[in-house]
Structure 1
Amino acid sequence: MTRPTVAQAQAWRPDALLETADDWDAAAADLQSRLDAAFERVAKSKEFWTGSAGDNARRNAEAIAAAGALVTRCLITAAVAARDGSGQLTSARNDVMAVVNTARAEGFAVGDDGSVTGGAASPLVALSGGSSQAAAEMLTTRIAAALDRLGAADADTAHDIVEALTPAQAPPVPTLPTGAGPVPLADVVAGWSAIGQDRIAAQIAGMAPEQRQRLIDEFPKQVGNTDGVPWPMRIAANRINIAQAIADERRAERPGSRERIAFYQGLLAEVDDPARTGRRIDRKILAFDPDRSSLIELNGDLATAKSVAVLVPGMNTTLQGSGENTKTARRFVSATRGEVATITYLGGPFPRGDNIAEGLIDAADPRYALDMAPRLVAFSEDVDRTVDATGRKIPVTYIGHSYGGSIMGTAEVFGLTADRTLYLAAAGAGVGVDDPSDWHNRNPDVLRFSMTAPGDLIQLVQGSPTSPHGADPDDMPGVIHLDAGHYDDGRLMAGPQAHGDIINVPSDSWRAILAVITGDSATLHKAG
């Protein structure tokens, strides 16, 4: 990284990247539109152009369309990187100019390299022990640091744009006689639905890097959403899936497309590392399928994590509205500087309602839990294998909040694999769960916890004879009940507002949840 000069910083116009991003998005939309029109005409030729020549023309058209779709996705991803870079560069440049302008306003001279001299009459001299040299050195250090941050933002932006425009691509497959060579990848992927995760993982482990990359390139939807596929491959495939979803929304121009596109762009953009390393990092999307309302994201890094938590949210959770769940997950990562990694789990649609009455009616339907629980069970197997592959003992905690408690409890019926489960203001212990014998967690040593704040309206549902969500987990034998305690300002964690605050607001309850995740026995004893 080369440190920019003060003159360069002053002359830079990061907003120009926004104009470039708009141009790339427009080019992507135009290219996609032209390709769609051309491919549609070629496809229709089947009605009047038969024979080998027509078949070859249509095959070539499919290859061209696929290449065009790749270029479209590259432009979309590059536009996201350019917008993100513009924001980072603007912030860093403003920091540089703020310090430079302050120094000059105080009578100091600022060199193009950021060195500061003079300023004998500045009030800053008194703050620096009466030494103008000390004040100048202090300002020089601040400007140099700001210029370094600007240079780092510039280098990161350049790297992200180049990476977006030059995606990893497997080399072309050589033409082989029919029946020669390995099983076609299309046949491999088609067989995944009929085999277990371990066999899928073993298949991929036996592949060459080029074959794995071809899987990502040619079958991103399956790779990005199949348990058993290594997580780095799923993450790479889902970047393709998200970019394609943006292209599809622009093509469809449906109601809400603008909002969905903005959300998808956010999934492709870099974020500040929640582990507080100071780095900007890509988001780690482990599943992305808008048609199934599926979005699973890893926050943090298994390489540094000592504990993992999987958060299953509740009623009214949607893909576009999942940002608050992500913030909740990242707080645990940030609080431990990466010693906790958290996964937000949206494995399908959740009950919804525009008002409380509608929400309660929809939440009384057990089908959401019954539909999602088997998928959560399968994902827990994938989590278990991935965590075990680190070679370290990393406990995994599943937290079911509100309706998510019923989903998690139902998953325990079907064979969830967990080291710990926490029923947090849970609607119930699971569909059909009347006592602990109804749970069939594959870990015989699983520890179960529960916590509900007094006055939480969810108590009207918990254990109700008319509720389909099972017994009240707070009253279940063998479940360790935790006290919600107080907010950090001294108020009791209680009442309707506590339903969401219990996991989001600085409080005894938040620290108790973190203690369950990390196994902090002292805090748990205090909350018990």
Structure 2
Amino acid sequence: MRLKRTLIAAVVSLAVLCGSGAAAAGAAVSDEQVAITGPLPGTTAWHRDHALDRSLPDPQSAEPADTAAFFASLSDAQQEQLAQRYPLVVGNLDGAPVQLRYRANRIALQQAVADPRTSAALAGEYRALLRPGRQILAFDPRSRGQVAEVFGDLTAAQRISVLVPGSDVDATHYEDTQQPPRAAAGMAQSLYAQEQADSPGTRTAVIAWADYTTPVGLGADAATSRLAEAAVPRLDHLLAGLRATTHPLTAPSLFCHSYGSVVCGLAAPGIRRSHGVTDMVVFGSPGMGVPDAAKLGDGVRLWATRNGSDWISNVPYLEVEGLGHGADPTSAGFGSRVVSAAGAHGHTGYLYPGTDSLRSFADIALGRYSDVVCATGDPSCDRGL
């Protein structure tokens, strides 16, 4: 335990000492978070409901393909009845029709706003998510609040991207109205806008997937993979749900920021090549929990980038006694295709308009690999593609 405390202190100190510190100075050591993974409110009643003269799919264990087949067997009226009666269940049920999930989550958000137990801060965020045109694919009001939002037409998309954010992301820190590309919602929206600008004839969609319990500050949660491990089944289920309800030309691309790259690294071995090679892009990564890209499996094509002013570079790239996340994905020999981050600044600056990173991220999402701007240390990052 003494070694673990020493390592945590070292990680925190380094983060605080470097420049912007990602608000580390104000939240250097935090309380451990309880991962929200159990059944959603309404699940017990859902299991007992036999109004359709059949069992409803188990939200915890049903395969999304089976869930999709179940909903396809229902009439529109029956689907709407389930969404009205169990909005939190249907709104988070991978494999359920996408548009039905959007409608169910609007109901769940309205109920959360009206709930006297909802704090004023959360109620304000939920009202923002209820603005016309927003497409909420998942919503969980428990604890700090979790959300996934879609930009673009998910059901018609030829190319789908999933943005997996890092620490300190929850319902109250999902958006940044002053500098949108710093937060999960703005990152996803910026990527979507760049894709549309670069290839207006390609139907694309981007999911901001803030649907897992993230670390708060730079305490033990940020230094270990515990919360990432809890997130992996949720990410796996999302991807399985996309396979059941969408039909892109290629497997969805994953864009993994900061601690989100730990989630993606742990999820990677479960991504099967039979579903198509998945482009995985990690940026501002503290490590992925593996010694090199080969350990991610053959279903993943790994890209990585980090800008020179990102404080994460001062965090030790190591793993000792379960602390730390291993090697630097941008380092020589790791096996990543390293992308230029010219124009990006700080830990959250990678998706600002005009940056090499944003342009290259869009090119990767679109499959336009020859247009990717490689880092000077990896001038042929598009080799073999």
Report the TM-score range of the alignment, normalised by the length of the smaller protein. 0.7 to 0.9
- Counterpart-to-counterpart distance in 1, 2:61 and 2:170: 30
Corresponding position: 1:207 with 2:71: no
Q: Would you say the 8 A contact 1:231–1:286 is kept in 2?
A: yes
State the secondary structure of the residue aligned to 2:351: helix
State the secondary structure of the residue aligned to 2:173: coil
Note the 1:406-417 alignment, pairs <5 A.
406-415=262-271
Q: Would you say the 8 A contact 2:194–2:358 is kept in 1?
A: no
Letter in 2 for 1:284: Q
Correspondence for 2:159? 307
Corresponding position: 1:521 with 2:372: no
Q: Would you say the 8 A contact 1:419–1:447 is kept in 2?
A: yes
Corresponding position: 1:288 with 2:139: yes
Aligned partner (choices 341, 363, 373) of residue 484 of structure 1: 341
Correspondence for 2:205? 341
Aligned partner (choices 436, 439, 461) of residue 315 of structure 2: 461
The 3 A distance-change label for structure 1 pair 470 and 414 is: farther
State the secondary structure of the residue aligned to 1:189: coil
Q: How far did residue 307 of structure 1 move?
A: 2.0
Q: Would you say the 8 A contact 1:462–1:472 is kept in 2?
A: no
Q: Would you say the 8 A contact 1:426–1:473 is kept in 2?
A: yes
Correspondence for 1:258? 120
Correspondence for 1:374? 233
The 3 A distance-change label for structure 1 pair 192 and 328 is: closer
Note the 1:28-47 alignment, pairs <5 A.
none
- Counterpart-to-counterpart distance in 1, 2:57 and 2:251: 34
Q: How far did residue 190 of structure 1 move?
A: 6.1
The 3 A distance-change label for structure 1 pair 419 and 244 is: same
State the secondary structure of the residue aligned to 2:349: helix
Aligned partner (choices 346, 350, 353) of residue 502 of structure 1: 350
Q: Would you say the 8 A contact 1:185–1:215 is kept in 2?
A: no
Corresponding position: 1:399 with 2:251: no
Q: Would you say the 8 A contact 2:162–2:252 is kept in 1?
A: yes
State the secondary structure of the residue aligned to 1:297: strand
Correspondence for 1:320? 172
Greater shift in the superposed pair: 238-247 or 392-401: 392-401
- Counterpart-to-counterpart distance in 2, 1:205 and 1:349: 31
The 3 A distance-change label for structure 1 pair 200 and 514 is: same
- Counterpart-to-counterpart distance in 2, 1:455 and 1:236: 42
- Who wins on radius of gyration, i.e. which is larger? 1
**Normalised TM-score (structure 2):** 0.73
Which has the larger share of helix?
Answer: 1
Correspondence for 1:471? 327
**For each residue in 1:131-171, what CA deviation from the matched residue of structure 2 results, as whole angstroms up to 9, or x when unmatched?**
xxxxxxxxxxxxxxxxxxxxxxxxxxxxxxxxxxxxxxxxx
- Counterpart-to-counterpart distance in 2, 1:458 and 1:386: 37
Q: Structure 2 regions of 5+ residues with no counterpart?
A: 1-48, 176-182, 376-380
Q: How far did residue 470 of structure 1 move?
A: 3.0
Q: How far did residue 386 of structure 1 move?
A: 2.5
Q: Structure 1 regions of 5+ residues with no counterpart?
A: 1-181, 271-281, 354-358, 488-492
Correspondence for 2:131? 269
Identity of aligned residues (%): 27
Q: Would you say the 8 A contact 2:164–2:210 is kept in 1?
A: yes
**Normalised TM-score (structure 1):** 0.54
**For each residue in 1:178-230, what CA deviation from the matched residue of structure 2 results, as whole angstroms up to 9, or x when unmatched?**
xxxx9534963363434322111111111122211111121211111111111
- Counterpart-to-counterpart distance in 1, 2:156 and 2:69: 25
State the secondary structure of the residue aligned to 1:212: helix
The 3 A distance-change label for structure 1 pair 303 and 361 is: closer
The 3 A distance-change label for structure 1 pair 190 and 393 is: closer
Q: How far did residue 306 of structure 1 move?
A: 3.5
- Counterpart-to-counterpart distance in 2, 1:505 and 1:446: 27
Q: Would you say the 8 A contact 2:271–2:300 is kept in 1?
A: no
Note the 1:380-395 alignment, pairs <5 A.
380-388=239-247, 393-395=249-251
Q: How far did residue 360 of structure 1 move?
A: 4.9
Correspondence for 1:449? 303
State the secondary structure of the residue aligned to 2:147: strand
- Counterpart-to-counterpart distance in 2, 1:397 and 1:291: 28
Q: Would you say the 8 A contact 1:189–1:222 is kept in 2?
A: no
Correspondence for 1:220? 87
**For each residue in 1:400-444, what CA deviation from the matched residue of structure 2 results, as whole angstroms up to 9, or x when unmatched?**
1011111111111344776210011112123xx22344324xxx4
